[in-house]
Structure 1
Amino acid sequence: MNHHINGVALPNEDGFFGEYGGQFIPPHLKQAMDEINTAYEEIRKTPAFQNELADLFTHYVGRPSPLFYAKRLSDQLGGAQIYLKREDLNHTGAHKINHCLGEALLAKYMGKTKVIAETGAGQHGVALATACALVGIPCEIHMGQVDIEKEHPNVVKMKILGAKLVAVTQGTATLKDAVDSAFEEYLKDPENYIYAIGSVVGPHPFPKMVRDFQSIIGNEIKVQAQDRFGAQPDYVVACVGGGSNAIGAFTAFLNDDAVKLVGVEPAGHGLNTDMHSATLTLGKPSQIHGMACYVLENEQGEPLPVHSIASGLDYPGVGPQHSFLKDIGRVEYSTATDQECLDAFITLSRVEGIVPALESSHAVAWAIREAPKMDKDIKIVVNLSGRGDKDADYVAGKLGLN
């Protein structure tokens, strides 16, 4: 796997992408993280691990996920041609299963007795509960009370799959608080527990590890684009919260400057309000959850309460590798508002018969906004990171479709 850019290793041995990443954690937790890193580096190179993961990707997840030409949408917009990388068709309905299988297998190979995680929209929770059921290891998911009420179908699925669900009521009772709560539980016994982070965030080695498991997305796009239209895409676009689906889509193209990479953050009610989660757009370098990255914070240096219509994107931090890619200008980070996201959700549903997750709808919104300004021979690949079943009732309520 090529994890260098301009000859620089990403991350370096200490888990830094430029000045971002690292391990800003207490010494006993550092020891546990270093053990995970060592085990991961040993295990991931073994044929047994690689073969088991590859087999599950094919026969369990259903990979490769298709690259679909959204012809009606492209024609309607009258500009660039839009293709959708259909991660929504994976087992469990999103890209999250890619790294959850990797993390659950790692836990099994390391002999851990419990997997602990946080979840926002519930996609990571469902995927991890699924992977843990598959490998036979107990799973505990921490989820904010606000998200539990908003994402009921995913909550029920996690329980059906046998996961223990912990409702988090502190703070804003959303994703950041779920992370804090899950970390507390993990610290009770880092020896026997493993914390399976749900994105390319947190202390080293998680930003690297989750990226490695997710990079299958971009690797597939590379082959499929060549197959479908005999060239590489002009643009690869993905939504960014913590940033796992985006880094998964981008990694294969980082050293191919002809391919423009665009990450789309939630502008919520607008960048001029305090109701958004546009971390890379309006945040500044700081620390959160054991890593250095861009953070949205107040004057006191505390993370701001953030907002997005998509539960999986309302996070005041962002993956350290994204922070680095912003600084070196390799990825353009743009935004889409809640309203643009809702419009994209309905448009894709009605024009292509594909109901996207609200998270992924941010990337679709960018394509809908920008494609008409481009020539017809330009190819945009949108990473459709998840499907919208979990959001259908919520959107129906918002639009009066109930």
Structure 2
Amino acid sequence: MKRVIVGLSGGVDSSVTAYLLKEQGYEVIGLFMKNWHDDSVTISDECPWLEDSNDALIVAEKLGIPFQTVDLSKEYKERIVDYMFNEYERGRTPNPDVLCNREIKFDVFLKIALSLGADYVATGHYCQKDTIQVEGKPVHRLLAGADGNKDQSYFLCQLSQEQLSKTLFPIGHLTKPEVREIAKEQDLITAGKKDSQGLCFIGKVKLPDFLQQQLQPKEGVIVEIPEDQSFYQKSIPDFDSKEDELAFFSNKIDYSVDQGNVVGKHQGAHYFTIGQRKGLAVGGTAEPLFVIDTDVNENVIYTGQGKAHPGLYRRTLFVNQDEVHWVREDMRLNIDETMRVEARIRYRQPLQTATLYQVDSGLYVDFDEPQSAITAGQFVAWYVGDELVGSGVIG
């Protein structure tokens, strides 16, 4: 009997994960990760980790599996929360959920599981894994979940072959309604429990409140950039090389206050992200304002009217070489090589066709169609078919 440690979160997905593994004959142990206990930043009437750990315990008892709690709040603060604050301070928008999987669930947690004699860890992610042979060696493939509506492969885009080799995704071939049905049939307390929202493990956090603990409010101006500005109509030069062309299309515009009109005030540019519409509190425009850029040094937010504003769109993004990650190491590009892929720059975005170009300094992702709100600090993940093969932090 192989031993599997399940990250029991107190939700329906991990509950059914544990049940299915037990049915398959594994020796299953449930482990609840306590990663946060500063209740001042969660929404007041909830104490998510307490309620969730109780539900996880009840599920473990129902399934007749051992259960314990591990406190990873120190590692979580160092690796996720401090990183988040640092990124926001630099005017970037991090994705804590991707980091949480790479740094906590499939690193700290995985190491604890292995130290307890586990052969594998298992999570309730909606994604799938299979193993193929490449030149006589096993290679693990990270595949999209069967439920297109719930596919969570994007959140696992930073996993390595080593991490995948020790991981099981028992519900990846099921849809959410099927998972709930199994939980109901087995009379698990989590069967009807709503999916958790908010930050990975922290619960339903008010992000501005969370950021304000560390990043002081600082009044600045909101500037609206008209869409008929001349720099949006600039002519495309003749390029000496493909790399010059990609650099041109990946360049962000450097805005200045004198290019637009001051339309309001804000409490800190580092609280805002590109593409954001809510929270600007500026009325009186024909179409809603969207954030098209933030300048944390000058503490200015640049906005444009409407979803189609040209300041929201770019065709090409760049990933610095030290931020390029291949799940499939055997498919890594050499300098000057290209690859046709489908890519997404945020969770739930439909896949977009693109070409990867590997250069000395990093990787360009050149989309067939301009993309809205390409945001520094977020992850771009690229797929071949339904397999996620690599990812990187957008520069």
TM-score range, shorter chain: 0.3 to 0.5
Higher helix fraction (1 or 2): 1
Larger radius of gyration: 2
Could you state the TM-score of these two structures normalised by the residue count of structure 1? 0.32
Higher strand fraction (1 or 2): 2
Could you state the TM-score of these two structures normalised by the residue count of structure 2? 0.33
